[in-house]
Amino acid sequence: MKNINLTLSVALFAACIILAGCQPQPEQPTGNQPEVNQDDTRVIKQFFDEALTTRETYQLLDHLCNNIGHRLSGSEGAAAAVEWTEKVMTDYGFDKVYKQDIMVPNWKRGDKEIARIVGSKGDLSVLALGMSVATPAEGLTAEVVEVQGLDDVEALGQENIEGKIVFYNRPTDQRLIQTGAAYGGAVDQRSAGPAMAARYGAVGVVIRSVGTAFDDVPHTGVTSYRDSIPKIPAAALGVLSADRLTEALKQNPNTKLFLKMNCQTLEDAPSHNVIGELTGSEFPDEIITIGGHLDSWDVGQGAHDDGTGCMQSIQVLRLFQKLGIQPKRTIRAVMFMNEENGTRGGLKYAELAEKNSENHLIALESDGGAFSPRGFGVTAEDATIEKFRSWLPHFDQNTISYIKKGGGGVDIGPLNRTLGTPTIGFIVDSQRAFDVHHSPADVFSSVHPRELELGTASIAGLIYLIDKYGL
């Protein structure tokens, strides 16, 4: 009877395969060579198991996004996030939890911006750029000069720019597979475009949002002025709004834009980096840093950018703890403050590391969002990169499939420049990142729990191997 039933099960299952719609796909290795320490593979598998089943990174991120919200430097949200992450790490019982004091820029958006094509119905979708000055209280109206980049402004010169609003409208390059590269190729319009336009007498700047989606979500981000040049108000238009403006200019080259922005920069405010540590058992003075940045822009919830990196860093330490692994070296989870508009946290961290003669083995930053892992970028000696590559077989290739030369993060850059510390950037699938980056769309509901947790476990895996074997 048992045998008959077993036969039935097998037959039914076979029928299911033939009749399709089920396609069982046994989990199998994906081509990586197998000559690695199987104990290490088992530990790393446990990181993944724990992260994927408890989803604790996701739970923390939920709290950060939905109970605290966005966290621009100097804001109440940023202060609440400092307090809360300190408590979270204290409650986990990490060996040390402490803060580093810093002073941060204190920019306020003020009332919602307005951008409107004069004579047209309906406002444009707009967000002031971070650190921008305000328009006059009654707003600003001027003709618009559309350009494709900073070079155009130089070529047009003062006679064509003076008294106008410069409209930077060069789109991101959709051909680039890594959207970070597409962003990098267009962001000079935002970061340096306003100062360049001001140099030639422009009275304001609007840019086409630096993102990858064809929608009307405006993307903010920092802009930088020059002390010797007047500061002019600068804002980002949603991509569809930018298209509306360019269309209006085609119809009428004398189209005027009305812009009203209410931002201001207050005195620098006190804030903090927040640090949790597991103390090394053999080499407590050798420090491995894992970090993200706790501040975000003042729209959305800073879920991908970069609540994710912070919650992942905390969870890497928790995974060690949960599995009963005491690291040989000291591992720090660092919530850096003020990545978005000043890097004061990263600069302070490096300054204190130098002042205290700390020995930093390596630092890793996660700041690409809560998307599926793809690889690590490593700024280190070739031998280290080769060593990391020899560890690839520990990872399912649907998580970490490559180690590339070159990588790090904005917050750990100063450590590299000051102490020469090697750095690692955690690389995720970037296709959706710049749809939400620096925008109201960067919210918790856009985070997939499994993609987020795969990131946590991938980072934990690499850090475990570095801690055990060194560089």
Contacts (CB under 8 A) with a copy of itself, residues 154-193:
154, 174-181, 183-185, 187-188, 190-192
Output the smallest distance, CB 445 to a copy of itself, in A: 12
Q: Is 383 in the site for a copy of itself (CB under 8 A)?
A: no
Q: Looking only at residues 194 through 213 of this chain, which bind a copy of itself when binding is defined by CB under 8 A?
A: 195-196, 199, 212
Which residue among 73, 330, 343, 423 contacts a copy of itself (CB under 8 A)? 343
Q: Looking only at residues 7 through 36 of this chain, which bind a copy of itself when binding is defined by CB under 8 A?
A: 8-9, 11-13, 15-16, 18-32
Output the smallest distance, CB 432 to a copy of itself, in A: 6
**Which single residue is written with the structure tokens 């140099």?**
199
Closer to a copy of itself by CB, 301 or 330: give it: 301
The residue range among 71-79, 326-334, 426-434, 462-470 that interacts with a copy of itself, by the rule CB under 8 A, is: 426-434
Q: Looking only at residues 126 through 155 of this chain, which bind a copy of itself when binding is defined by CB under 8 A?
A: 130, 150, 154
Closest CA to 367 of 450, 298, 411, 306: 306
Q: Is 397 in the site for a copy of itself (CB under 8 A)?
A: yes
Closer to a copy of itself by CB, 121 or 175: give it: 175
Output the smallest distance, CB 448 to a copy of itself, in A: 6
Output the smallest distance, CB 466 to a copy of itself, in A: 18
Output the smallest distance, CB 429 to a copy of itself, in A: 5
Closer to a copy of itself by CB, 118 or 187: give it: 187
Closer to a copy of itself by CB, 246 or 401: give it: 401
Q: Looking only at residues 272 through 311 of this chain, which bind a copy of itself when binding is defined by CB under 8 A?
A: none
Output the smallest distance, CB 164 to a copy of itself, in A: 18
Closer to a copy of itself by CB, 248 or 465: give it: 465
Which residue among 106, 271, 308, 430 contacts a copy of itself (CB under 8 A)? 430
Site string for a copy of itself, 352-371 (x = CB under 8 A): ---------------x----
Count of chain residues binding a copy of itself (CB under 8 A): 89
Site string for a copy of itself, 210-249 (x = CB under 8 A): --x--------xx-x-x-----------------------
The three-state (H, E, C) secondary structure of the chain, written as one string: CHHHHHHHHHHHHHHHHHHCCCCCCCCCCCCCCCCCCHHHHHHHHHHHHHHHHHCHHHHHHHHHHHHHCCCCCCCHHHHHHHHHHHHHHHHHCCCEEEEEEEEEEEEECCCCCEEEECCCCCCCCEEECECCCCCCCCCEEEEEEEECCHHHHHHHHHHHHCCCEEEECCCCCCCCCCHHHHHHHHCHHHHCHHHHHHHCCCCEEEEECCCCCCCCCCCCCECCCCCCCCCCCEEEECHHHHHHHHHHHHHCCCCEEEEECCCEEEEEEEEEEEEEEECCCCEEEEEEEEEEECCCCCCCCCHHHHHHHHHHHHHHHHHHHHCCCCCCEEEEEEEECCCCCCCHHHHHHHHHHHHCCCEEEEEEECCCCCCCEEEEEEECCHHHHHHHHHCHHHCCCCCCCEEEECCCCCCCHHHHHHHCCCEEEEEECCCCHHHHCCCCCCCHHHCCHHHHHHHHHHHHHHHHHHHHHCC
Q: Looking only at residues 102 through 121 of this chain, which bind a copy of itself when binding is defined by CB under 8 A?
A: none
Q: Is 322 in the site for a copy of itself (CB under 8 A)?
A: no
